[in-house]
Amino acid sequence: MSHAALAAATLPFNGEVRGACPHDCPDTCAFVTTVRDGVAIKVQGNPAHRHTDGALCTKVSRYTERSYHPERLLHPLRRVGPKGSGRFERVGWDEALDEIAARLSAIAARDPEAILPYSYCGTMGLVQGESMAMRFFHKLGASLLDRTICASAGGEALVQTLGAKVGMKVEFFAEAKLILIWGSNSIASNLHFWRLAQQAKRDGARLVCIDPRRTETAEKCHEHLQLRPGTDAALALALMHELIVNDWLDHDYIARHTLGFEALRERALRWTPERAAEVCGLEAAQIRALAREWGTTRPAAIRLNYGVQRARGGGNAVRAIACLPALTGAWRHRAGGVLLSSSGHYPIDRAALQRPDLLRARRPRTINMSTIGDDLLRPASPEFGPRVEALIVYNSNPVAVAPESGKVVAGFAREDLFTVVLEQFQTDTADYADFILPATTQLEHWDIHTAYGHTDIVLNRPAIAPLGESRPNTAVFRELARRLGFTEPCFAEDDASLCVTAFGEGADYAELMAQGFTSLHLPDAPFAEGGFPTPSGRCEFFSERLARQGMDGLPDHLPNHEAIGSSERYPLAMISPPARNFLNSTFVNVKSLRDIEGEPLLEIHAGDAAARGIADGAVVRVFNDRGEYRCTARVSPRARPGVVHGLGIWWRKLGLDGTNVNELTSQKLTDMGRGPVFYDCLVEVRPA
Ligand SMILES: Nc1nc2c(c(=O)[nH]1)N[C@H]1C(S)=C(S)[C@@H](COP(=O)(O)OP(=O)(O)OC[C@H]3O[C@@H](n4cnc5c(=O)[nH]c(N)nc54)[C@H](O)[C@@H]3O)O[C@H]1N2
Ligand SMILES: Nc1nc2c(c(=O)[nH]1)N[C@H]1C(S)=C(S)[C@@H](COP(=O)(O)OP(=O)(O)OC[C@H]3O[C@@H](n4cnc5c(=O)[nH]c(N)nc54)[C@H](O)[C@@H]3O)O[C@H]1N2
Ligand SMILES: [Mo]
């Protein structure tokens, strides 16, 4: 189907429009928006899409409340007060774009690498994400951004072990007889997988949750291993130990489809359940029992999620866990194996979308988004290059979500930094902008979506006209390109056409237009006969590529940067997983959802609370050398002794003292993938 057919699709004044949930969640739901007299009146799950199964989460079923929110940004704004004061005046689009273009041109004339884009997954769409924006920054020669803030440690680990971000087809979890839910609060952050796990449970499967927090998911599993944060690799190695000594191995699968078993065997034999139990804070008997289950149940599957890889050894942990299915030949069955992310299955034509050829011979430096605090404060130097002079933020709220907020805020507060923020709302980040440009929401623009928790493509058609003067991200970069004199035809491509460019011949657009989604054609059991997309074609227990980089070729347990017991002043380990009714920092400003969450909370074990004279509901100071954050203590059976949970990610300005939990997190990085270590953070807590 040509893009003309997509573009010809007009906005209905009345009717139903098929779309896609844009949020950063494995489920990527297909939804249907009901429009009456040009107004979206409700958003519902598309009943025809089996992964959505007609049901949306609480957050997205309130999507119209977000789109029509009284605080939606509807006009371009220019700063009038000091940086961060949040005081702005209304300006016209032409005035805003002319001034932004002039500022960027002047900086680019000196050194385009002084300009930095900052974006993440406010929308997961391929069009409103990195398409026109990347073309613009490539042509400009701006610094590149290493987009590491969420998943790069685990992603890199999958690439090194399985060959790509690939795994089981999610639908077959329903047929498994044992499911390990590992580092995932599925009920909160992967709801549509949880429905499949429930189906498996009704059919007799055992569910085991591995999580330092007793989450709502952990409560509903048969078994919960409440380990210390950042100790998963030790647990996985001890499971291997037991598989080996009890010979619960698939020798044929190992011989034909894996690499490095002998070396892994030697490593794993050093990890007795007793040794791992000591590290993990578990009982050796629990580890033995889990190994027996994994070794003797067929089919057996692991729903691994990104919670395990937000600590120093996160990459190694994912590598160790990803080895478990090959050891037992679990991959032979379509309901066996592991799924962390399915995003590597999609044939996206990124070169066509992002046009890296526009860089020509230039090779701009790359800045890691997870250390944006330090990088904004860094002076020019031969190693670093020029000081960052301009920042263009879209699809992200770094002042709230990036680690070590004290530094991030200090960087954004630089009066000599020129900051443009494309946003739907006046977030903590938008407060620091020189210009805020109002962005459309998913109901108002075209996009096309892959998923990381299933294997369908979902198309998003606009259901209503843009509210106020808001514009899609693509429109802003097209206009800036024109003002900077970029004449390549790719800067004129419209959004419907970009949807087609994303996959070209690789997707069935007629089906996408007709039903809103289309499935990739993949085998049910992708690695039943091996065929891993690694260099060796095998599941790589030992990775030559890692060894060549001077790293350990085998997975191992790496203690946290800030391991429990390593500091006398800060004895408590803090993790900060998402609050169920927010999506990262998105939805925090939707009052009905904020009312459910109540206020920023710190969950703490009764023993730890009593030792500090902290009563349930008391306001506490949570602090370390990086900063201090005040919130309300919830003495809670969800916390194990020694571990506290600062549920995220509140807007700073909606918190008790204008900060949030990232005031405490560090800019240290993971072992692989240069990722952040949000869940590797020691603190102390006192009554306020
Ligand atoms: N409702 C809701 N859904 C979301 C999000 C949201 O903010 N809210 N965020 C979305 C995004 S961006 C992502 S990346 C995913 C995140 O979802 P997940 O990939 O599931 O990751 P997290 O929510 O970070 O953590 C999941 C669980 O891991 C646990 N955990 C923390 N540290 C460790 C550890 O060291 N070992 C183990 N085994 N477990 C640990 C946490 O307690 C938490 O219960 O969810 C997406 N879905
Ligand atoms: N302490 C702690 N910190 C964390 C985490 C944690 O677990 N603990 N999780 C981390 C993880 S996993 C992630 S992924 C990051 C998430 O960090 P971000 O990707 O920054 O996610 P959000 O906080 O949801 O902010 C996205 C912003 O994009 C805006 N947006 C949405 N759609 C559009 C659009 O079409 N155009 C424009 N211009 N803007 C749009 C939204 O309004 C929202 O303000 O946070 C990380 N930070
Ligand atoms: Mo994420």
What CA–CA distance (Å, rounded) separates 84 from 431?
5
Q: Are residues 119 and 131 in the same domain?
A: yes
CA distances to 59, 275, 279 from 44, in Å = 11, 50, 46
**For residue 1, is pLDDT > 60?**
no
Ligand 2 lined by 474 (C-beta under 6 Å): no
- Contact between 642 and 572 (Cβ < 8 Å): yes
Mean pLDDT along residues 386-407: 98
Mean pLDDT of 488-499: 97
Of the candidate ranges 62-66, 223-227, 566-570, the one whose mean pLDDT is the lowest: 62-66
The CB of 182 under 6 Å from ligand 1? The reply is yes
Domain end point (choices 502, 521, 543): 502
306 lines ligand 1 (CB under 6 A): yes
pLDDT of residue 216: 97
Tens-place pLDDT, residues 460-479: 999 999 999 999 999 999 99
102 pLDDT exceeds 80? yes
Q: Which of 343, 370, 402 is where one domain is finished? A: 343
CATH number, domain containing residue 433: 3.40.50.740
CB 303 within 8 A of CB 181: yes
- pLDDT value of residue 12: 77
CATH number (domain holding residue 312): 3.40.228.10
Contact between 19 and 448 (Cβ < 8 Å) = no
Residue 532 lies in a domain: no
**Cα-to-centroid distance, 401 and ligand 2 (Å):** 7
pLDDT of 8 above 70: no
> According to the model, what pLDDT value does residue 10 have?
73
The pLDDT score that the predictor gives to residue 44 is 97
User: Does residue 217 lie in a domain region?
Assistant: yes
Same domain, 256 and 169: yes
Q: Which ligand is nearest to the CA of 26?
A: 1
- What separation in Å is there between the alpha carbon of 571 and the centre of ligand 1? 23
- For the cut 90, the answer to whether the pLDDT of residue 11 exceeds it is no
For residues 180 and 200, membership in a common domain is answered with yes
Residue 78 — very low, low, confident or very high, per pLDDT cuts 50/70/90?
A: very high
Same domain, 189 and 90: no
Q: DSSP string spanning 584-615?
A: TTBTTT-HHHHHHH-S-EEEE-HHHHHHTTPP
Tell whether the model's pLDDT for residue 26 goes beyond 60: yes
Determine the pLDDT at residue 6.
72
Ligand nearest to the CA of 209: 1
Best mutation site among 150, 186, 189, 590 for ligand 1 pocket (most ligand atoms within 8 Å of CB): 189
Contact 620, 644 (CB under 8 A): no
For the CA of 395, the nearest atom of ligand 2:
28
Whether residue 372 is contained in a domain is answered as yes
Q: For residues 372 and 253, state if they share a domain.
A: no
How far apart (Å, rounded) are the C-alpha atoms in residues 353 and 256? 39
Instruction: Put residue 456 in one of left, alpha, beta given phi > 0 → left and psi -120 to 50 → alpha.
Output: beta
| Ligand number with the minimum distance to the CA of 436 | 2
- CB of 405 closer than 6 A to ligand 2? no
Q: Measured between alpha carbons, how far is residue 521 from residues 53, 265, 378, 506 in Å?
A: 20, 36, 48, 10
**CA distances for 42 relative to 63, 64, 85, 604, 655, angstroms:** 8, 6, 35, 39, 30
One domain for residues 194 and 333: yes
Give yes or no: residues 308 and 421 share one domain: no
Final residue belonging to a domain, choices 319, 343, 367: 343
Same domain? For 170 and 199 the reply is: yes
Rounded mean pLDDT of 613-636?
A: 98
Residues 165 and 282 in one domain: yes
Instruction: Give the rounded percent of residues in the chain with a pLDDT score beyond 90.
Output: 96
The answer on 201 and 103 residing in a single domain is: no
- For residues 619-623, average pLDDT: 98
Q: How far from 121 is each of 22, 148, 220, 486, CA to CA, in Å? A: 9, 11, 30, 26
Number of domains within the chain: 2
Residue 624 within any structural domain of the chain? no
128 in any annotated domain:
yes
What range does the domain containing 297 cover?
153-343
Residue 7's pLDDT band (boundaries 50, 70, 90)?
A: low
- Determine the pLDDT at residue 182: 98
**Residue 115 Ramachandran class (φ > 0 left, ψ -120 to 50 alpha, else beta):** beta
Neighbours of 487 (CB within 10 A): 9
Residues with Cβ within 5 Å of ion ligand 3?
150
Q: Which atom of ligand 1 is nearest to the CA of 586?
A: 7
Tell me whether residue 570 is in a domain.
no
Question: Domain check: are 183 and 313 in the same one?
Answer: yes
Same domain, 419 and 298: no
Per-residue pLDDT of 238-280, as tens digits, reads: 999 999 999 999 999 999 999 999 999 999 999 999 999 999 9
What mean pLDDT do residues 1-27 have?
Answer: 83
What is d(CA 620, CA 632) in angstroms, rounded to the nearest whole number?
6
Residue 2 pLDDT level (bands cut at 50, 70, 90): low
What integer best gives the mean pLDDT of the chain? 96
Decide whether any atom of ligand 2 lies within 6 Å of the 395 Cβ. Answer: yes
Omega before 649 within 30 of 0, i.e. cis: yes
574 lines ligand 1 (CB under 6 A): no
Question: Residues 507-560: pLDDT tens digits?
Answer: 999 999 999 999 999 999 999 999 999 999 999 999 999 999 999 999 999 999
Question: Hey, whose CA ends up nearest to atom 12 of ligand 2?
Answer: 150
d(CA 559, CA 450): 34
256 CB-side CA count, 13 A? 13
Q: Is the CB of 412 under 6 A from ligand 1?
A: no
Vertex 634: Cα angle to 630 and 639 (nearest 5): 110
Residue-level pLDDT at 13: 81
E strand or H helix at 252 = helix 251-257
- Domain membership of residue 334 (yes or no) is yes
In this structure, what token pair is assigned to residue 121? 């997954």
On whether residue 653 sits in a domain, the answer given is: no
